[in-house]
Amino acid sequence: MPTTATDLNSASIGASAVAGTKVITRTVTSVASTKLTWRASVQAPKGYNVTVSPSSMTLQPGESKSYTVTIVNNGKGTIGEWTTGSLTWTSGQYHARSPIAVQGSRLDAPVEVDGAGTDGSLTFSEQFGYTGAYTATAHGLVASETRSGTVMQDPDQTFPNDPPDSAGTASLPITLSGTAHARWSLVFPPTDPDDIDLYLLDSNGDIVAQSTSGGTNEHIDLDLPADGQYTLIVHGWAISEKGGRAFDVQQWIVPLAPSDGSNFAITAAPTAAVTSTVGNVTVAWHGLAADTEYLGAVSHANADGVFQLTLVGVDTTG
Answer yes or no: do 147 and 245 share one domain.
Answer: yes
Q: Domain limits at 55?
A: 5-104
Q: What is the pLDDT of residue 62?
A: 94
Answer yes or no: do 232 and 308 share one domain.
Answer: no
Beta-bridge partner residues of 228 = 176
Q: Which of 223, 251, 279 is the last residue of a domain?
A: 251
Answer yes or no: do 138 and 149 share one domain.
Answer: no
- Across 3-7, 104-108, 171-175, the highest mean pLDDT is recorded for 171-175
Distances (CA, A) of 263 to 259, 260, 289: 8, 8, 10
Q: Which of 226, 251, 276 is the last residue of a domain?
A: 251
Look at 166 and 287; give whichever has higher pLDDT: 287
Residue 162 pLDDT level (bands cut at 50, 70, 90): low
Percent of the chain surpassing pLDDT 70? 95
Answer yes or no: do 68 and 164 share one domain.
Answer: no
Q: Is the pLDDT of residue 223 over 80?
A: yes
- Number of structural domains the chain divides into: 3
CATH (domain of 298): 2.60.40.10
**DSSP single-letter state for residue 6:** G
Answer yes or no: do 45 and 66 share one domain.
Answer: yes
Q: What is the pLDDT of residue 104?
A: 87
pTM of the model: 0.83
Alpha carbon distance 232, 166 (integer Å): 14
Task: Dump pLDDT digits (tens) for 83-142.
Answer: 999 999 999 999 999 999 999 889 999 999 999 999 999 999 999 988 999 999 999 999
Answer yes or no: do 83 and 177 share one domain.
Answer: no
CATH (domain of 214): 2.60.120.380
Answer yes or no: do 122 and 151 share one domain.
Answer: no
Alpha carbon distance 144, 166 (integer Å): 28
Amino acid code (one letter) for 146: T
Q: What is the mean pLDDT of residues 250-275?
A: 95
Answer yes or no: do 147 and 12 share one domain.
Answer: no
Answer yes or no: do 94 and 240 share one domain.
Answer: no
Phi, psi angle pair for 5, to nearest 5°: -60, -40
SS3 call for 47: coil
Answer yes or no: do 308 and 226 share one domain.
Answer: no
CB-based contact 199:186 (threshold 8 Å): no
Distances (CA, A) of 306 to 135, 258, 297, 300, 317: 9, 12, 12, 6, 32
- Cα–chain-centroid distance for residue 196? 24
Answer yes or no: do 129 and 31 share one domain.
Answer: no
Q: Which of 79, 104, 129 is the last residue of a domain?
A: 104
Q: Is the pLDDT of residue 45 over 70?
A: yes
Alpha carbon distance 77, 256 (integer Å): 30
Task: Dump pLDDT digits (tens) for 292-307.
Answer: 999 999 999 999 999 9
Answer yes or no: do 24 and 150 share one domain.
Answer: no
Q: What is the pLDDT of residue 1?
A: 42
Amino acid code (one letter) for 16: S
